[in-house]
């Protein structure tokens, strides 16, 4: 089509292309979900249906983008691992970041309307997400990344479980509960739960304690080869990814077993 004399403004556009052969992790994070959960009266410390909305959205995103091999989430955040060979959007940062943020928001609203229809969303408080992409050069650091998020889930959930037990069953005000927990260790919180409320934290649901792992199970990709794949071979590999099933778990990502059982994650 005809070009105008204003077309030159495009020369001001810049793209950050992530290096090939590195692992990209896209993390999406709910914006203002503290207020969002208050507005829609989430049950505390965890709202199972809101988690279902989030997990359904993440699962749909993962189905839509076959090069996501692994996802991990809890609360209102999710991290998606793109495989090392991923060439999605030529690995452009803005495209990745905006597409993930937009897509998770779209699915979240969609599933909210399905799963929690009795709480219609209000235009002043729609669910939105920000996103970032982080590049990691090797397997060890990718594993440490997911360990970091799972440890964080554990720390937050133990805190929240104790806090809300103190408030809802112990009759403390939020401020009193907060003060009581300042400086406490994990063992202290476990003890409060057990001694004062007869709650054994270990018996809490795994989905709350461990978060949710979505993994593309054995796509049976080619082993790493010295030669480059042709474009047709690449398409075939992506089809395999697309067809391989996605499983949901609430299990440990910190130990070796999960990873040793799934070598294709780092292929």
CB of 13 to a copy of itself, least distance (A): 5
Question: Tokens 């692994």 label which residue?
Answer: 70
Provide the token pair at 171: 């009759």
- Using alpha carbons, select from 114, 62, 84, 55 the residue that is nearest to residue 249: 55
CA distances from 71 to 14, 82, 103, 136 (A): 29, 9, 15, 15
CB of 241 to a copy of itself, least distance (A): 18
State whether residue 195 is helix, strand or coil.
Answer: helix
Question: According to the binding rule CB under 8 A, does residue 242 interact with a copy of itself?
Answer: no
Question: According to the binding rule CB under 8 A, does residue 100 interact with a copy of itself?
Answer: yes
Which residues, at least 6 apart from 22, have a Cβ–Cβ distance to it below 8 Å? 84, 135, 136, 137
Question: According to the binding rule CB under 8 A, does residue 201 interact with a copy of itself?
Answer: no
Nearer to a copy of itself, 138 or 220 (CB): 138
Nearer to a copy of itself, 144 or 206 (CB): 144
CA distances from 10 to 6, 7, 201 (A): 9, 6, 56
Residues that bind a copy of itself (rule: CB under 8 A) add up to a total of 66
Provide the token pair at 116: 């929690």
- Using alpha carbons, select from 46, 194, 31, 4 the residue that is nearest to residue 125: 31
Nearer to a copy of itself, 29 or 204 (CB): 29
**Binder among 46, 54, 55, 60 for a copy of itself (CB under 8 A):** 60
Find the part of the chain contacting a copy of itself (CB under 8 A) among 69-77, 134-142, 169-177, 190-198: 134-142
Provide the token pair at 31: 């914006």
Question: According to the binding rule CB under 8 A, does residue 182 interact with a copy of itself?
Answer: no
Question: According to the binding rule CB under 8 A, does residue 19 interact with a copy of itself?
Answer: yes
* Residue 242: CB atoms within 10 Å: 14
Nearer to a copy of itself, 220 or 239 (CB): 239
Provide the token pair at 151: 């440890």
CB of 50 to a copy of itself, least distance (A): 16
Phi, psi for 154 (deg, rounded to 5) = -60, -50
**Binder among 107, 163, 201, 208 for a copy of itself (CB under 8 A):** 107
- Using alpha carbons, select from 208, 201, 204, 168 the residue that is nearest to residue 187: 201
**Binder among 115, 151, 173, 205 for a copy of itself (CB under 8 A):** 151
Question: According to the binding rule CB under 8 A, does residue 174 interact with a copy of itself?
Answer: no
CB of 249 to a copy of itself, least distance (A): 20
CB of 12 to a copy of itself, least distance (A): 5
């Amino acid at each position: 089509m005809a070009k105008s004399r204003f077309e030159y403004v495009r020369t001001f556009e810049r793209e950050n292309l992530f290096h090939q052969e590195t692992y990209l992790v896209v993390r999406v994070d709910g914006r203002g979900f503290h207020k969002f959960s208050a507005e829609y009266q989430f049950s505390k410390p965890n709202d199972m249906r809101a988690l279902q909305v989030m997990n359904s959205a993440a699962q749909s995103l993962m189905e839509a983008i076959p090069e996501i091999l692994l996802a991990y989430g809890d609360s209102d955040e999710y991290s998606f691992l793109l495989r090392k060979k991923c060439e999605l959007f030529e690995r452009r940062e803005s495209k990745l970041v905006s597409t993930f943020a937009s897509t998770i928001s779209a699915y979240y609203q969609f599933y909210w309307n399905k799963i929690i229809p009795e709480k219609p969303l209000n235009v002043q408080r729609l669910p939105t997400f920000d996103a970032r992409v982080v590049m990691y050069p090797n397997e060890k650091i990718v594993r440490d990344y997911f360990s970091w998020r799972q440890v964080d889930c554990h720390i937050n959930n133990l805190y929240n479980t104790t806090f809300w037990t103190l408030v809802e069953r112990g009759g403390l005000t939020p401020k009193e509960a907060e003060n009581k927990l300042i400086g406490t260790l994990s063992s202290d919180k476990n003890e409060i739960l057990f001694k004062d409320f007869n709650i054994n934290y270990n018996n809490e649901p795994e989905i709350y304690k461990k978060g949710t792992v979505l993994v593309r199970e054995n796509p049976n990709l080619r082993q790493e080869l010295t030669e480059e794949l042709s474009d047709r071979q690449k398409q075939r590999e992506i089809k395999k990814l697309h067809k391989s099933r996605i499983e949901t778990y609430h299990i440990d990502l910190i130990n070796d077993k999960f990873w040793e059982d799934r070598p294709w994650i780092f292929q």
